[in-house]
Structure 1
């Protein structure tokens, strides 16, 4: 048995922040996905309806990486009612050469939050219009905040509109975004208004019925949808997916089973059409946004490749900084 590093959420927050380095790490994971050399099995997903919960298990081997990660990510959405966070979880790093455990990352979902936001920024980098004056987010949770903060790193904007089912939560979200980015941010009660005024929209909800309608699409719009990662979820009107000038996703097989592509195909749309993956666009194997006036959608279900990338980055950063606890063999 080799020595094992133990990294708590506190350790990981000290070692990793949402910055350009993290964006580069996640962008490289997408690039590698397009190489055909990544080993990434389907997501193991379990819904626990009795507790309004779900659990996902993701993993991937990335060529050239010393380690690979297995992530367990529970989401129990009634937890806030009893003062607990909705999301938690952990990642385990294994040596890609021996299979021995390298590190246990007790992140409580922090690294998932960071890599998910970074993935949204990568989508914006390659698919959003070059000039974004107004961004909008549908949703008012932690991921809504992080997605906007990450997107601002690649497409600086001066105004943010926040829509949420709960007006008070939307207002709190807008206040946090304004403070973090020093931009104007306000809550709106009309999702159509938010989409209509924005050039970049991110959806971050667990909605099971569309919250963004096809008739709201307009020229020069990019949408990143990251909430649909279970077969029962659907944030984007399937007609919008079909009407977009370019629809892409992080992994076609996952999007077809869990994402917005699933909902579109269930209505007989997008069948026989294999959309490009974001990694192919990052790698230059498929063109991204063709025109500034185009309408683009990126469907992010979350990949094990991102988890291995962020876990490896976090471990290396912690090691360099001397953070964490070692369990000696």
Structure 2
């Protein structure tokens, strides 16, 4: 029978730092041609939007989809997994925490493969739900990180985040932008990170804007970057305003943008020098949901967590 896992179940089964190797292995299967994916598709409904994304991972023997409905400021996520061998539905998973963990883990993978060796500081734009998993995963993947600086439009939120996570509140946004690794995890429609704040050798992980009408990075970030990569070129061309607008302005060419799995697998070089500025544009892709969902189901069955649902 398929297994139902609640948000509480997922939270008890995996943490963002534990998700890093799971997502790294997903990238390797993508590079090996074992994964097919369908980029996120959205359509409007009264008061909001409905989204669906899907993938099949032959290496795991699992296919799945994530869907969510955002209406009147409320959103609920679910992942459904299927066995590729017999077509059966194997699991249904409440997927807010799942998505938080896999998004953070992807930035952890980027930090492992693209950050400057010995990177010592992390700047966070945003102090919410996603910023927490970004911090946990990047700390696990880049243990040389010591200083964490958080910037938020809401000073009280930044202060609370800093107290919980051993960080410091940025005096100005430029303080967070001057770190070795810079993460933008915001809901802003307009750029929050300026390229002239970046120090040489910085890695930028832009994870908040997955809509062509939204940007977290100003064009100077892209102009200064030696390397720009994304999670999926097909998806980036649909929803990465941070890349779409610079391409339209002639500041970037899609031929210059690679996919992170190519670097993780060693098919393409990553950082070439200590002073290179590198950008990872993360929109979130369904292979990560399938991979992390498969892992939490494996753990749940080992530990007797979840509820079997007759179908």
From the superposition, tell whether residues 152 and 47 of structure 1 become closer, same or farther in structure 2 (CA, over 3 Å). farther
Q: Is 1:253 the counterpart of 2:240 in the alignment?
A: no
Q: Is 1:17 the counterpart of 2:20 in the alignment?
A: no
Decide whether the 8 Å contact of 2:230 with 2:282 is kept in 1.
yes
* TM-score of the superposed pair, with normalisation by structure 1: 0.89
State the partner residue of 1:28: 25
CA apart distance, 1:97: 2.1
Cα distance in structure 1, aligned partners of 2:264 and 2:70? 30
State the partner residue of 1:135: 122
From the superposition, tell whether residues 148 and 215 of structure 1 become closer, same or farther in structure 2 (CA, over 3 Å). same
* Count of residues in Structure 1 that have an aligned counterpart in Structure 2: 309
Cα distance in structure 1, aligned partners of 2:120 and 2:35? 37
State the partner residue of 1:182: none
Query: Which stretches in structure 2 are left out of the alignment for 5+ residues?
Result: none
Write out aligned runs for 1:194-273 (5 A): 194-196=176-178, 198-259=179-240, 260-271=242-253, 273=255
- SS of the equivalent of 1:229 reads coil
Question: What is the root-mean-square deviation of aligned Cα atoms in Å?
Answer: 1.8
Q: Is 1:152 the counterpart of 2:133 in the alignment?
A: no
CA apart distance, 1:202: 0.4
More strand by share: 2
Decide whether the 8 Å contact of 2:228 with 2:256 is kept in 1.
no
Cα distance in structure 1, aligned partners of 2:296 and 2:40? 22
Q: Is 1:120 the counterpart of 2:107 in the alignment?
A: yes
Moved over 6 A (4+): none
Cα distance in structure 2, aligned partners of 1:121 and 1:145? 12
Write out aligned runs for 1:1-329 (5 A): 3-20=1-18, 22-46=19-43, 51=47, 53-75=48-70, 79=73, 87-107=75-95, 109-156=96-143, 157-178=145-166, 185-196=167-178, 198-259=179-240, 260-271=242-253, 273-328=255-310
Deviates more, 1:53-62 or 1:156-165: 53-62
- SS of the equivalent of 1:168 reads helix
Decide whether the 8 Å contact of 1:242 with 1:269 is kept in 2.
yes
Query: Which stretches in structure 1 are left out of the alignment for 5+ residues?
Result: 80-85, 179-184
Residues 13-33 of structure 1, C-alpha deviation per residue, up to 9 Å, x if partnerless? 22222234x211101111222
Residues 115-147 of structure 1, C-alpha deviation per residue, up to 9 Å, x if partnerless? 000001001111111112211100111111110
- SS of the equivalent of 2:122 reads strand
Cα distance in structure 1, aligned partners of 2:68 and 2:115? 29
Decide whether the 8 Å contact of 1:149 with 1:177 is kept in 2.
no
Decide whether the 8 Å contact of 1:145 with 1:176 is kept in 2.
no
Decide whether the 8 Å contact of 2:29 with 2:59 is kept in 1.
no
* TM-score of the superposed pair, with normalisation by structure 2: 0.93
CA apart distance, 1:271: 2.5
Residues 91-128 of structure 1, C-alpha deviation per residue, up to 9 Å, x if partnerless? 11111123221111124x11000000000100111111
Cα distance in structure 2, aligned partners of 1:272 and 1:14? 40
Decide whether the 8 Å contact of 2:228 with 2:280 is kept in 1.
yes
CA apart distance, 1:207: 1.6
- SS of the equivalent of 2:5 reads strand
Decide whether the 8 Å contact of 1:139 with 1:204 is kept in 2.
yes
Residues 45-90 of structure 1, C-alpha deviation per residue, up to 9 Å, x if partnerless? 2356x74x444311111122132221113456x74xxxxxx65311
Decide whether the 8 Å contact of 1:163 with 1:191 is kept in 2.
yes
CA apart distance, 1:12: 1.6
